[in-house]
Chain A
Amino acid sequence: MTTISDIDPPTPDTAPASISTQVRGDHRGSWIPTWGMVTTRFMELRKRRGLMIALIAVNIGIPVVFLAVRLVSHAVDPKSYGAAGGYSIFTSLVAGFMYIFGFIVAAVVGCTAGSVDLTEGMFRHLVITGRSRLALYLARIPAGLAIVIAMVAIGYTIVCAVCVFAAPTQLNYNGVIVPQGLSRPALDSWAAAHADKVICNFNYNGPNPPPNVPCGNGNGPSGPTAVVKTPQGTVVPVHVTQAQIRAFAITMANQNYSDYRATFLVPSTSLMIDVGLWIALEATIGFTVGLGLASLMGQRTVPVILLIVLELILTPLFSRHIIPHLVNLERAIVGVAMVHIEPGGLPTPFGGGGPGGGQGGVTLIPESTLAASLVIAGWIVFWTAVGAWRMRTRDA
């Protein structure tokens, strides 16, 4: 083989500085990303016009349009259309929309952040810099979360503001205007004074049906009567006195007190903070899982579809249906765990009642808060580790 040691290097005009001089203090092998890496990664995501439009439309646009329509409707015809905001609007909008779509949008951003360097050919350029691949991966997390959390926060702040400042002035409980903040004795007194409204509208759970009292609109019977079961099991009508009607109303008020106490004109500050953190956690999970899954698969489309299936199909299915042999597997689904740490006062996402809200009484898979917290932490750590491992081992 010919040797090439006799090549005379040309005399340099300007000799480049030695490596050791220039890389001293440049912690290129460190797994910690630099601030510049995070900010440029943020810029790369922020400049994706289509992604940002979708993000804004879902996280901000849809709630804003929904609330704006309610505001206008209420302003035009307040008798037909209720107040735009309030506690019930807050809970249904947050648990029914922002929670679910916040996850999906965050997952899309995560899948984008995890795959575009590879699909657009930048991964190779970045690896050639000599920078730690782990640092390249970790730089995506704060950058992506800064976008996702900011969007969720803006949308959520708007929802909170409308729900607080455009709340109804009177508390509507089961279709009845009830004074807010009554104690149990005070609610009993109020029920005794408005026995017909209570008997006609409040929920009742007892052996005998409520007395038949006039319920307004001329639909009620002519006189107060009740039906009772005889010891032989037959049902017979009996005449009831006003005192018996008031006593029955008080009984119903007592049964409804816990639900009444959880019904407010406006969401409380503590509830808004708790729910905000809960939604932010859900978005964080969506982003980190999307990032890890897309890094693992090296593409965006399939991971996005998988995560939408997880959120919209698998999680609602497994959160309600207990499969005896797979109950621990069901508990390990992050969406199921998230339902268990849902702040009290919210209906369960995906419909039905939850442990906190208690509306509807849907049975959830039993899971302790500690177990749910471990499942959530496990998902974040596992998918981050998987994505980082694939980033380190992938051919560029």
Chain B
Amino acid sequence: MSTALLSDAVDGRAADSQWAVETHGLTKRFGENVAVNDVELLVPRGCAFGYLGPNGAGKTTLIRVLLGLTHADAGTMFLLGHAVPRHRDVALARVGAIVDEPRFHGHLTGRQNLQILAAAREPAAKGRIAPALERVGILHRGDDKVSKYSMGMRQRLGVAACLLGDPQLLILDEPMNGLDPAGMLDMRDMIKSLVSEGRTVVLSSHLLDEVERTCDAVAIVDRGTVIRQGPIAQLLAGSSFEVQVECSDPDRALSLLEATSFGAHVQVGPGGLAISLPEATERDAIAEINRVLVEGGIAVYRLQHIQASLEQWFLSVTSRLGASE
């Protein structure tokens, strides 16, 4: 079947799919080691999606399986609604990706490397080379040999390579690697602008702070298994939170609070009391803490609700899982 006919045949399902990436029971083994373990992943279209996990969790392996760089041992997967690997040519036509460190032919210029990649795509891709270089900010270095590029510039060239196909889905594996703070800011802005154009960006990273600033939703992967996924705000809302209290008598405040039934973990620190409240604790608990302290004759100077960061949440989730084993 020709590609054109193929695209017609699968277009109906693709248009209906609300997921940019959809996997069911996806498994990839390397001998005894299960790198991707029964992964159920749903990435909505038109958002920035973070794929988080510690080193060796199987993030890159999952991306490689999705892109057809290596085969899956079990499960099904869809990119932009197209089953892969069966319709990988149609699916990948509108996918751009960086996997691991972006490497190119060092003896060629950035522009020439993009010409090679554009030639493997549709004819219109050739016309996107200059705009792509301009968008990632290396148009002025486009005619320099890649061997003279810094790591950050190669990273940008990798993103430019992704843009050649006018992608609806970009999969970026650790795109912040090698970028200086200004470069990271540029990359963050670019990801946001790509999302604002209706594209989906899947960001694999261990830089939790960057993911929190950039992404709308995340999935947490550990030892090949997706253990949580969802919108960041929703995930964090269900997590424990901390209340910091600055008061006149921290030691007595500690005794008072330990006698209550909040289930809080209270510590005395240099800045006052740090009170950790369990998941699903209502916000009224903060007012209750204040009431207990005031009725106990303690002057409260400051009482601050500290929302858990993605990093804290990530560590709590992964450490809890580790402890449960």
B211 at the interface (CB under 8 A from A): no
B199 to chain A: closest residue by CB: A16
* Min distance, Cβ A8 to any Cβ of chain B, angstroms: 9
CB of B116 within 8 A of CB of A4, answer no
CB distance from B59 to the nearest CB of A (A): 16
Contacting pair A41 B116 (CB below 8 A): yes
Judge whether A130 and B89 touch: CB under 8 Å: yes
Asked if A122 and B103 make an inter-chain contact with CB atoms under 8 angstroms apart, the answer reads yes
Q: Which of B213-241 contact A (CB under 8 A)?
A: 216-217, 226, 228-231, 234-235, 238
Whether A7 contacts B216 by the Cβ 8 Å rule is yes
Across the interface, B93 reaches (CB within 8 A) one of A3, A19, A47, A48, namely A19
Is B96 part of the binding interface, using a Cβ–Cβ cutoff of 8 Å? yes
Q: What residue in chain A is nearest B167 (Cβ atoms)?
A: A16
Per DSSP, chain A at the interface is loop
| A396 contacts the other chain (CB 8 A) | yes
A129 to B216, CA, bound (A): 27
Contact digits for B270-294, partner A, Cβ 8 Å, 1 yes 0 no: 0000000000000000000000000
B52 within 8 A of A: no
Residue contact A48 to B6, C-beta cutoff 8 Å: no
| B190 CB to nearest A CB, Å | 14
Whether the pair B69, A40 counts as a contact (CB closer than 8 A) is no
In contact, B197 and A128 (Cβ under 8 angstroms)? no
Contact present for B120 and A124 (CB under 8 Å): no
Taking a contact as CB atoms under 8 Å apart, the answer to whether A27 and B2 are in contact is yes
Query: Which residues from 1 to 47 on chain A have a C-beta closer than 8 Å to any C-beta of chain B?
Result: 1-7, 9-20, 22-30, 34, 36-37, 39-41, 43-44, 47
Whole-angstrom distance between the Cβ of B15 and the nearest chain A Cβ: 7
Interface residue from B93, B112, B229, B231 paired with A6 (Cβ < 8 Å):
B231
Decide if A127 is an interface residue (CB 8 Å cutoff). Answer: yes
Residues from chain A with Cβ under 8 Å of B92 in the complex: 28, 128-130
**Taking the complex as formed, is B42 at the interface, i.e. its CB lies under 8 A from any CB of chain A?**
yes
Q: Which of B69, B122, B235 contacts A23 (CB 8 A)?
A: B122
Q: In the complex, what residues of B have CB within 8 A of residue A125's CB?
A: 102, 104, 117, 161
Contacts of B68 in A (CB 8 A): 127
CB of A130 within 8 A of CB of B88, answer: yes
Pick the residue among A2, A25, A39, A396 that contacts B69 (CB under 8 A). A396
Using a CB-CB cutoff of 8 Å, which residues 82-108 of chain B contact chain A? 82, 88-97, 99-108
A122 and B154 CA atoms in complex are apart in Å by: 12
List A residues 82-102 near B (Cβ within 8 Å).
none
Asked if B3 and A28 make an inter-chain contact with CB atoms under 8 angstroms apart, the answer reads: yes
Considering the complex, which residues of chain B in the window 242-297 have a beta carbon less than 8 Å from any beta carbon of chain A? none
What residues of chain B lie closer than 8 Å to A6, measured between beta carbons?
A: 231, 234
Question: In the bound complex, do residue B67 and residue A395 qualify as a contact, i.e. CB atoms below 8 Å apart?
Answer: no
| Inter-chain contact A22/B166, CB cutoff 8 Å | yes
User: A121 at interface (Cβ–Cβ under 8 A)?
Assistant: yes
**Complex contacts, A11 vs chain B, CB 8 Å:** 198
Contacts of A109-136 to chain B: CB distance below 8 A = 116, 120-122, 124-132, 136
List chain A residues, Cβ under 8 A from B95.
128, 130
Collect the chain A residues with CB atoms within 8 Å of residue B124's CB. 22
Q: A16-B166, A24-B7, A29-B6 are in contact. Are A124 and B69 (CB under 8 A)?
A: yes
- Structural contact, B235 and A40, CB atoms closer than 8 A: no
B14 within 8 Å of A (CB atoms):
yes
User: What is the chain A residue whose CB lies nearest that of B9?
Assistant: A20
Look across to chain A and name the residue whose beta carbon is closest to the beta carbon of B158.
A125
Give Cα A218 to B157, complex, Å. 82
The verdict on A325 contacting chain B, using a C-beta distance below 8 Å, is no
Determine the distance from Cα of A28 to Cα of B91 in the docked complex, in whole angstroms. Answer: 11
Given A14-B197, A19-B11, A122-B113: A127 and B67 interface contact (C-beta under 8 Å): yes
- A124 to B166, alpha carbons, bound, how many Å? 18
- Do the beta carbons of B103 and A3 come within 8 Å of each other? no
Given A2-B230, A44-B108: A129 touches B121 (CB 8 Å cut-off):
yes
A residues in contact with B123, CB < 8 Å: 26, 36
B10 to chain A, nearest CB (A): 8
- CA distance in complex: A341, B8 (Å): 52
- Whether A128 touches B97, Cβ cut-off 8 Å, given contacts A20-B11, A43-B115, A122-B104, is yes
Nearest-Cβ distance from residue A12 to partner chain B, whole angstroms: 3
Chain A residues near B6: list those with CB within 8 A.
29
- Beta-carbon contact of B230 and A126 below 8 Å: no
Q: Within 8 Å of chain B (Cβ to Cβ): is A79? A: no
The residue among A4, A49, A395 with the most chain B CB atoms within 10 A of its own CB is A4
* Residues of the B chain whose Cβ atoms lie less than 8 Å from the Cβ of A132: 89
Residue of A at shortest CB range from B219? A4
With A37-B120, A120-B106, A125-B117 already in contact, the answer to whether A4 and B229 are too (CB < 8 A) is yes
- Interface hub of B47, B64, B122, B230 (most chain A Cβ within 10 A): B122
- What is the CA–CA distance of A130 and B197 in the complex, to the nearest angstrom? 23
Q: Mark B2-22, 1 if CB is under 8 A from A, else 0.
A: 111011100100110010000
Contacts of B119 in A (CB 8 A): 34, 36-37, 39-40
Measured CA separation A27–B117 after assembly (Å): 15
| Smallest CB separation, B53 vs chain A (Å) | 16
The residue that B4 contacts in the complex, of A1, A13, A17, A25, with Cβ under 8 A, is A25
Contact A16 B94, beta carbon cutoff 8 Å: yes
Whether the Cβ atoms of A129 and B105 lie closer than 8 Å is no
Cβ-defined contact, A19 with B80, below 8 A: yes
Contact (Cβ within 8 A) A28 B14: no
Does B304 make an interface contact (CB < 8 A)?
no
Closest Cβ–Cβ distance, residue B110 to chain A (whole Å): 13
> What residues of A have a CB within 8 angstroms of the CB of B113 in the complex?
122
> In whole angstroms, what is the CA distance A286 to B103 when docked?
29
The complex places the Cα of A116 from the Cα of B161 at a distance, in Å, of 18
Smallest Cβ distance from B29 to chain A, in angstroms?
13
> Contact at A4–B11, with CB atoms within 8 Å?
no
Nearest CB on B from A75, distance (A): 41
A18: which of B3, B15, B118 is its contact (CB, 8 Å)? B15
Interface centre among B44, B70, B80 (most CB of A within 10 A): B44
Q: For the complex formed, measure the closest distance between the CB of B211 and the CB atoms of chain A, giving whole angstroms.
A: 15
Residues of A within 8 A of B198 (CB): 9-16
Pairwise interchain contact B197-A22, C-beta atoms closer than 8 A: no
10 example contacts (A-B, Cβ-Cβ < 8 A) are as follows A1-B226, A4-B231, A7-B44, A11-B198, A12-B46, A36-B123, A120-B103, A124-B99, A126-B116, A128-B99
Q: A12-B198, A36-B126, A116-B105 known; 7 other A-B pairs, CB under 8 Å?
A: A16-B166, A19-B90, A26-B4, A28-B90, A41-B116, A128-B67, A136-B120
Cβ-closest 10 pairs across A and B? A121-B103, A12-B198, A9-B46, A130-B92, A2-B230, A36-B119, A29-B89, A396-B69, A20-B11, A26-B122
